[in-house]
Chain A
């Protein structure tokens, strides 16, 4: 099956700093990747669609200057949470599309202190 690797799995950072999360498709090329945010006991909320070689498309209400997305190659997309604050603490998950199917990374637990 298709494998998507997300790194780091956990990160703690100080308020005001930036954090970069990587999402890699290990055994396939993904033109399109997606970034989600998930709060405890809740569903996945789509933040943005990341397309290789072009600007990401953000969902309504998601600050593009806050959550920087770069999809520099067909196997790597990165999400940078800039000037992180405690309210940015959450579980961030990426997925990569292969044909119709979307395969997910293992998620990143971000804690901002």
Chain B
């Protein structure tokens, strides 16, 4: 995704429900993707990653899906909890030898009781 963030889209989720955060990327050469969680005033925290030779990867309460055909990435959070409230960023690496990441605009997730 392009980091054009002039404002953050917001996803409101009720506690206990599943969350789905979407990300579109534009570079078909990107071969590695990461999801980060950023709480207010803190640095991004690694959640899960996926390589382009995979379509799905699961972690603890999180699943990342990659659709290379439409250049789409999603993060699913199961049984969303108040502690999941944060901004979520997808990031892609286009094979850059240094491992530079291009960040998406981010999505603000707000968990309501």
Residues of chain A having any CB pair with chain B under 8 Å: 1, 4, 6, 32, 34, 41-46, 49, 51, 57, 93, 95, 97, 100-107, 109
Contacts and interface: CB of A to CB of B under 8 A. Distances in A.
Nearest to B49: A101
B44 A104 contact: yes
A82 B109 CA distance: 36
B5 A41 contact: yes
A32 B46 contact: no
Chain A's interface: helix, strand, loop or mixed, by majority?
A: strand
B3 A104 contact: no
Contacts of B45: 104
A34 B99 CA distance: 9
B100 A49 contact: yes
Interface of B: 3-8, 32, 34, 36, 41-46, 49, 51, 89, 91, 93, 98-106
A93 B93 contact: no
A106 B3 contact: no
Contacts of A45: 3
Contact of A102 (B7, B99, B104, B105): B99
A107 B7 CA distance: 20
A46 B92 CA distance: 13
